[in-house]
Structure formats: structure tokens, C-alpha cells
Structure 1
Amino acid sequence: MRLSNSKTSKKNNKTVTVFWTQTNILLITGYLIILPICTLIVLSLLLPLLTASLLASLGTSYHSTSIPWIDDASECEHTGRSWSDRKCWDKEHNPMF
């Protein structure tokens, strides 16, 4: 009893296993058509989620940093920043700046 799907034929006293049956060709063709379609669907669903989280983490995160070229409290407060520890602090500094 054979468990294989392949056919065998005898040529010149040799047994040759034939794997390219019509069923195998149809299965491989279907697989090669369905695989890229499913890949595109999955990527189209995941890409917006990944880009949204990446942009949210980079674009909207602000960090406090001192502004080294402002060394006067009045000039610092005039630009909307805060003066502390003899430094001008920008509380909305974007790291992408």
C-alpha cells in the first residue's frame, strides 16, 4: 500500500517517480497565487498600526531641555520658556528638532 500521491512509471527497467501530477501543479499554482495576496492583506492591516505608533512615539513626545544661547531670565520668559537654575528651559522640546 502506497501513501504517496506520486505516480510511478517503468522505463528501461527503472522506476521513475513523477511528482508533477495535475493535482500537484494546481495546488502549487493556487499556493503561489494566494500567498502574495494574503501577504499584501496582512501588511496593509499592520502597516498603519506600526506607522501610527512610531509617529506617535517620535512626533508627540516632548522633553525638557536647556537652551544654551539664552542666558538672561527676561529674554527666556519673553520667548515662552521658563527660567530655573540660571538656565532657560524649553519644556516642549521635540527630539526631532
Structure 2
Amino acid sequence: MKFANKNRVYSALQTSLKESSQKKAVYRTGMTFWTPVNTFFISSSLLVLLASSAGIFSGIFSSFAFSSSSSTNEAQDNFYPTSLPWIQDKTDCKYRGRTWKDGKCWDQEHSPMF
């Protein structure tokens, strides 16, 4: 009986030793993650990610700024008088702030973007 009891104690001790050695192995691998090679790799990856993101976003924002400024300049500089065929009456034309000329209602601020 004493022999069986010793095996049980030895078995429990052996299990405990296995668990502690596994914990130590996990702890050791966690500590070795920040090696100089890994640190360099992670730093360079983050730097490349930052640079590419800045390039993409600056390209997107500049295209929005260019398109909005060009459409604004175009809208300001390129107004053309246009006849409005759906307005057939002189009083209706004057009421809407347009010009009546040659039997037609003219809009002096018609934008080609309309």
C-alpha cells in the first residue's frame, strides 16, 4: 500500500513539474519575442504602413480639393445666358428674376454644371 501511495504522490509531483516547466517555456518565448530582428521588422512594417497611408490619403484629399476648386472656378467664370423654354410669360419671367428679351425668358447666370 505504501508503494502505491508513493506513486500517486510522485505522479502528482510529476504533473506539477510538467505544468511549471510549460509555464516557464511560455514565459521564455514571450520574453524572446522582442529580439533585435523582430523589433526591426515590426518597426519597418509600421513605417511602411504609415508612409503608404499618408500617400494614399494625401492623394485622395488633393483630388477632392482639386475637383472642388476647379468646379468652383468653372462655375464662377463660365456663366452663359440661356433661354428658359418652360417660361412663356413675361410677368412670370420677371417674377423669377430673369430677363425678358426677344419673346424669350433669359437666365444670365446659367452654369454648364446645371
More helix by share: 2
Larger Rg: 2
More strand by share: 1
Query: What TM-score do the two structures reach when normalised by structure 2?
Result: 0.42
Query: What TM-score do the two structures reach when normalised by structure 1?
Result: 0.47
